Amino acid sequence: MNPRVGIIMGSDSDLPVMQAAGSILEEFGIAFELTVVSAHRTPLRMVEYARTARDRGLQVIIAGAGGAAHLPGMVASLTSLPVIGVPVRSSNSIDGWDSILSILQMPNGVPVATVALNAAKNAGILAASILGAQDKALGDKITQWKSRQEAEVLEKAAKMKKDGWNNTFDD
Ligand code: RP5
């Protein structure tokens, strides 16, 4: 299967966070590729990756980086594909806010869909939802996945009640 989603990150040290995007895409049966592309350390690789992504068949790019996290925004400036940015709380990140704001505060004209700090799983779900908008089978799969998630939460609420925690809402 040709990859539909490209997962890139500024360093291999981002992988422990970013692998969650791959895991959830795998769960949805979406083919993806994953590699390191650094905006600052491999700028020409970044340009080539972003410029060729669409022609290579990618439909969404997930880009994670920490600290002065320019990768998602720069990639978004170079492609018309949707780019989802994952701010990573990395070794060179002060407290995570630097990564968040570097990815979030894009200028008009170059949007990056920014998820929460380290929220690579949500980036994967968002990528799947973007693809699922045009792909009925995938859209149905995501709907079922969300129903299962809902059922799991309701089970947890029922268990808490059974364990004796006061809950008049479900009476
Ligand atoms: C960023 O610097 C990377 O995305 C990573 O989050 C951070 C630290 O990189 P390493 O020093 O671990 O390679 O560009």
Residue 146: band (very low, low, confident or very high) from pLDDT cuts 50, 70, 90: very high
SS3 171: coil
Cα 5 to chain centroid distance, Å, stands at 10
pLDDT of residue 171: 87
pLDDT of residue 157: 97
H/E segment holding residue 76: helix 71-78
Residue of the CA atom closest to atom 7 of ligand 1: 66
pLDDT over 90 at 75, yes or no: yes
**Which residues' Cβ are closer than 6 Å to ligand 1?**
9-11, 13-14, 38, 65-67, 88, 90-92
Per-residue DSSP letters for 118-169? T-HHHHHHHHHHHHHTT-HHHHHHHHHHHHHHHHHHHHHHHHHHHTT----T
| Cα 61 to middle of ligand 1, angstroms | 19
pTM: 0.96
Q: Which positions ≥6 away from 112 have C-beta within 8 Å?
A: 63, 72, 73, 76, 83, 84, 85, 103, 104, 106
Interval 148-160 mean pLDDT: 97
